[in-house]
């Protein structure tokens, strides 16, 4: 059965002067750049699409997805949608050619896909797409990973995330940026009862120890996209941002209005 289109609009998006200035400077410094998004129908991915489109920093934003997107917002002529098969590496390489920046937000859960399905998406699909990006000469690979990611972890989730991170960093990209959010705060399309129940105490505890337990998906996306505008101090560069660092980066930028 064909899935209904995911509706994405630019409602309630907070950019700020610092974001807009960085986007404009990037566009002047590096004109003609194109971005691709993987996992664009997920909670972080759709926010990344919003921020990329609102920024107007890229000539083209290509979303590789199995679910169609219905986008209503600025610069809609720049949004391109393409079907994707993450197991067909050669096709990925052809489709990724001509893109300078990649934003990977692929991910599922063990509860939804089982242990094997989770590993297939969060490791195999992520690593396959990264390899294709490298072959296609993508300059900057940004990935939404997870807090606690560690290839030596005893837990499947954090171990898988850590393995993917480690393999991507060893591929030789000019620049790799890893973002490690804790619990994601958002209004999910999918109903996850336990997550909803946990949200209430998490919100309270997050006020007591800010930056440690949770982060809005919009803040993760804001950080991923705004970071892409920055000229790196050196290349090759592998960098990682913790949950608290993303929150700090966003909050400090909003204070500069």
Q: Could you give the residue numbers annotated as active site?
A: 157, 161
Residues contacting 1, CB < 8 A, separation 6+:
none
Give the length of the chain.
257
The DSSP symbol for 157 reads H
Give the C-alpha distances (Å, rounded to integers) separating 103 from 191, 217, 228, 231.
25, 14, 9, 17
Instruction: For residues 255 and 26, give the distance between their C-alpha atoms in angstroms, rounded to a whole number.
Output: 22
Q: Using CA of residue 228, residue 234, residue 236, residue 239, what is the dihedral sign?
A: negative
Collapsing DSSP states into helix, strand and coil, what is residue 104? strand
Name every residue whose Cβ is closer than 8 Å to that of residue 12 and which is 6 or more positions away in sequence: none
Q: Quote the CA–CA distance of 102 and 62 in Å, as a whole number.
A: 10
Compute how many other C-beta atoms are within 10 angstroms of the C-beta atom of residue 1.
Answer: 3
Residues 6+ apart with CB under 8 A from 13: 50, 51, 54, 218
CA angle 143, 149, 151 (to 5 degrees): 110
């Amino acid at each position: 059965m064909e899935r209904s289109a995911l509706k994405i609009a630019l409602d309630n998006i907070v950019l700020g002067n610092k974001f807009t200035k960085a986007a404009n400077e990037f566009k002047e410094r590096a004109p003609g750049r194109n971005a691709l998004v993987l996992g664009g129908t997920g909670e972080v991915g759709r926010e990344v699409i919003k921020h990329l489109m609102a920024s107007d920093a890229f000539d083209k934003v290509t979303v590789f997805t199995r679910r169609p997107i219905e986008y209503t917002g600025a610069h809609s002529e720049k949004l391109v949608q393409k079907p994707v098969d993450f197991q067909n590496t050669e096709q990925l390489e052809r489709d990724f050619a001509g893109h300078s920046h990649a934003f990977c937000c692929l991910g599922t859960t063990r509860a939804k896909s089982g242990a094997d399905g989770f590993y297939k998406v969060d490791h195999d699909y992520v690593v396959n797409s990264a390899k294709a990006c490298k072959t296609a000469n993508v300059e900057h690979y940004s990935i939404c990973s997870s807090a606690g990611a560690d290839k030596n972890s005893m837990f499947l989730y954090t171990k898988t995330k850590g393995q993917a991170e480690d393999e991507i960093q060893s591929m030789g990209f000019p620049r790799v940026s890893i973002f490690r959010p804790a619990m994601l705060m958002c209004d999910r399309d999918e109903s996850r009862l336990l997550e909803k129940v946990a949200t209430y105490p998490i919100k309270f505890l997050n006020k007591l120890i800010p930056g440690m337990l949770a982060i809005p998906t919009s803040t993760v996306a804001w950080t991923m996209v705004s970071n892409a505008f920055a000229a790196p101090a050196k290349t090759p560069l592998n960098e990682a941002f913790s949950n608290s660092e993303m929150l700090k980066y966003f909050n400090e930028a909003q204070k500069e209005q």
